[in-house]
Chain A
């Protein structure tokens, strides 16, 4: 895990140079100087306070994604800083949401890479060696058993039986590696394991709210925390008291989040019955329950009424001060300018420019991109 030189903090210079080239260079430099021993924030929770902000926690390098003939993201390079809010803006079709999907592992990039705390996300999403071993063993034993029983049914001798078992074992193991290889090489349009990123501490919300309609608000929130004891059936059935104790903790935390978001009165309401704005709040709350380091918010205030919107923005700023890092896609300029520490402007799949809100506001090209298209 590496950390970044604070002096590479993107600001005015990057903004005034032409977009991708300069950024790519900056990215390369970063990769080279990666291990240069500036104090790391690795492993610390988000509660460490805002004083250590400024290090890049997510680095995006030369990201490219095409759908058929359309180039949705075309070599985007930027980074998200720890304990800062990064705004991502751009006209419709600029590739913001696709970038988001690539960041959160819901899409597989054609080329380029996303690094979370210095580690490539595609590496984070790959099954661990232990997991591989479990599946290979299971597959091997199954086919070994099948081989042995087939040989037994055919009336083979003991030696042949053993041989069949070994062949089956090898076949099973090979089959697992084979299917993985085929999937990785030929079939991959979407990674199978974006949940790994959430486990590592990067969680996203969706542009169109996707609350779990047939579950109550409380259940939506309680779903969040990772590695709950009761997600293991064995624990559920045979250690119900331990599970119940943890449920109580989670429920208490959920109540706190509900109060924070002023949704307490809706605790037992089906999420499907909530208004658009309330759903946005619920999504934010659900993400907070996961307690990640990086939160990717896709249009968090769209459809939220003004007073609630103020509330939500205050909340996000507060969380930033507590050490959470945010990346926010938003169309509302006022919101972006008020929230963001850094704004990244995308256009036609590329990073047009980036900088502090004040600089972006003045930038000619941004105005062109938005107005002149």
Chain B
């Protein structure tokens, strides 16, 4: 799989788990409900969606299931979401008055029961075997560009979604202040080029409105009128792409719009990273680079020779282990003596920079894996224009995995905004009050029961939606995918990222999957026996990670941000 394919694959997992974690964050991060049975709603969403879209059981004799309604996917997704929300309500009504730990056990019980039912009651969803046989939505239309009008509309929709997201993120980014310095002008130029000029104007226009609004400190969320420039531009792009597809220029439209948005995404991501680490000097960046190169150096012997079952291979593996040990001892030493290390910024920040370097090198350098100039050029093009697939026959095209990625990410973005509006609203305030001290909320006249039930329904429905997407993505559903342990991985994501912070939760999901992916790759470098042990060890390391985060950073990597209001001068 090419590096961009891998990126899409992992990012889709991240997005699905981000949805799942956003749901849990609403319950646990905001309302303080210790839901140890979160995976139950994930399961219900997945299976209900699958059963709604499957053809009737008679038409499918190789497996048994209760019913298949053969409905379209839109209905299936809705049904999965609603079913999970309804289960949330039903579970909440009797259980929600329980105190934290009792509630946790009760909900854990629910999830265990549901998994058991799916496992043993074969007539519901094909028992212990996987439930499969549903086709994925719109799969017939891919790869784009297609001949039909539906394919054109789909392309327009995709172009609209990705541009809306990228332009909005760009608009939010403070680095787009009016260009004062030479460097600022350069950044603006790059942004202008990669967002096709029109997008840049939209971004600038939106930015000024956001500034004006934030200055007053008015209200929760962002009002819809602020986004009209971004939405308008994205809509125009989408319509142009659709039109181009209809007149047979689809490949060209894909190359221009999706290629440009891929570039723009890198640029915006770069600006965002730069802004995030603004206070750290060049030395911290270099330290991160040294750290990542060091890790690659330590892995180099086994990466190049490790697969061999010879003396050389064994020596290489041993050398890697020695180098790794030295590397981690060095890291620990640096951590212990951090004041004396001549680097600005915290240890954690440098770890973050190192991680970014690692990811960048893995993505842009290691993945090339060839020395011929043509191959290097080609794979670099594939990696940079990650949203576009290059088919030798058609030219630029757009495959199903990328389409699904766009849909899921679009859902995550939408869900994130709704959650943020919720969190900043009086509703979120009551939830946080309940989390801190329910009696206070009661004494102030808040019907805490209703608030908690609503949080349960909503959080569960979001988990159900994640389940519905998982059903599409996995293509077949087995009960093992919904093991009660999954709940705790989601808890890890929420706690790692920062409970009560929706951005942090998404970051947590990304880190979790990067870790999972990274250990798989690490294991692949070693000979079978050692590799297998590394994958087994993974869960232990995940547990260790949780302990470390709880110990050194109890509020998570990205902790909940206080709601600051401007104090008027009087």
Tell me the A residues contacting B by CB distance below 8 Å: 104, 106, 142, 153, 192-199, 203-206, 210-216, 218-219, 222-224, 226, 228-233, 236-237, 240-241, 243-245, 247-248, 251, 255, 259, 264, 267-268, 270, 286-287, 290
Contacts and interface: CB of A to CB of B under 8 A. Distances in A.
Contacts of A229: 426
B427 A232 contact: yes
B223 A268 contact: no
B124 to A, nearest CB: 9
Contacts of A267: 565, 567
B518 to A, nearest CB: 33
Contacts of A219: 429, 432, 563
A211 B446 CA distance: 15
B92 to A, nearest CB: 12
Contact of B446 (A195, A205, A270): A195
9 contacts: A106-B442, A195-B441, A206-B439, A213-B436, A215-B563, A223-B433, A236-B427, A255-B567, A268-B562
Given A214-B436, A241-B219, A226 B445 contact: yes
B223 A290 contact: no
A153 B66 contact: yes
Contact of A270 (B418, B421, B562): B562
Contact of A233 (B427, B437, B568): B427
Contacts of B430: 223, 231
Contact of B440 (A193, A210, A228, A236): A210
B447 interface: yes
B503 interface: no
Given A212-B437, A241-B223, A268 B565 contact: yes
B21 to A, nearest CB: 20
Given A240-B223, A259-B570, 5 more contacts: A195-B447, A215-B432, A231-B425, A233-B422, A270-B562
Contacts of A142: 86, 90
Nearest to A152: B67
A243 B219 contact: yes
A248 B219 contact: yes
A290 B444 contact: yes
Contacts of B449: 192-193
**Which one of A106, A203, A244 has the highest number of Cβ atoms from chain B below 10 Å of its Cβ?**
A244
Given A153-B67, A203-B444, A210-B439, A236 B421 contact: yes
B374 to A, nearest CB: 52
Interface string B436-478: 1101111111111101001000100000000000000000000
B106 to A, nearest CB: 16
Contacts of B220: 230, 236, 240, 243-244, 247
B219 A268 contact: no
B570 A228 contact: no
A211 B454 CA distance: 24
A215 B442 CA distance: 16
Nearest to B216: A248
B560 interface: yes
A124 B443 CA distance: 15
B564 A216 contact: yes
Contacts, number: 143
A26 B435 CA distance: 44
A142 to B, nearest CB: 7
Interface string B393-416: 000000000000000000000000
Given A153-B67, A198-B445, A230-B426, A212 B440 contact: yes
Interface string B539-570: 00000000000000000000010111101101
B443 A244 contact: no
B418 A237 contact: yes
A286 B444 contact: yes
B218 interface: yes
Interface of B: 66-67, 86, 90, 97, 218-221, 223-224, 418, 421-422, 425-427, 429-430, 432-433, 435-437, 439-449, 451, 454, 458, 560, 562-565, 567-568, 570
Contact of A251 (B422, B432, B442, B565): B565
Contacts of B447: 193, 195
A258 B55 CA distance: 63
Contacts of A255: 567-568
A199 B444 CA distance: 8
B567 A231 contact: no
Nearest to A138: B89
A37 B522 CA distance: 86
B218 A244 contact: yes
Nearest to B90: A142
Given A229-B426, A248-B219, A214 B444 contact: no
A197 B224 CA distance: 38
Ranked nearest first, the 10 interchain pairs of A and B with the lowest CB-CB distance are: A244-B219, A198-B445, A230-B426, A212-B436, A236-B425, A230-B425, A228-B426, A199-B445, A195-B445, A226-B445
Contacts of A251: 565
**Which one of A224, A247, A248 has the highest number of Cβ atoms from chain B below 10 Å of its Cβ?**
A247
A201 B428 CA distance: 23
Contacts of B224: 240
B442 A194 contact: yes
Nearest to B97: A192
Given A192-B449, A231-B427, A214 B567 contact: no
A286 B90 CA distance: 34
Nearest to B86: A142
A264 B567 CA distance: 8
Contacts of B568: 255
Given A203-B443, A244-B219, A247-B220, A215 B426 contact: no
B38 to A, nearest CB: 20
B90 to A, nearest CB: 7
B380 to A, nearest CB: 43
Contacts of A226: 444-445
B34 to A, nearest CB: 16
A214 B66 CA distance: 48
A114 to B, nearest CB: 15
Contacts of A247: 218-220, 426
A154 to B, nearest CB: 10
Contacts of A244: 218-220, 223
Contacts of B429: 215, 219, 222-223
A197 B436 CA distance: 21
Contacts of A198: 442-445
A155 to B, nearest CB: 11
Contacts of B90: 142
Contacts of A206: 439-440, 443
A241 to B, nearest CB: 6
Contacts of B570: 259
Nearest to B562: A216
A232 B425 CA distance: 9
Contacts of A106: 439, 442-443
B439 A223 contact: no
B426 A214 contact: no
A215 B564 CA distance: 10
Nearest to A183: B97
A218 B563 contact: yes
B28 to A, nearest CB: 14
A276 to B, nearest CB: 16
**Which one of A196, A210, A230, A237 has the highest number of Cβ atoms from chain B below 10 Å of its Cβ?**
A230
Nearest to B423: A236
Contacts of B426: 222-223, 228-231, 236, 243, 247
Contacts of B451: 231
Contact of A195 (B67, B432, B442, B567): B442
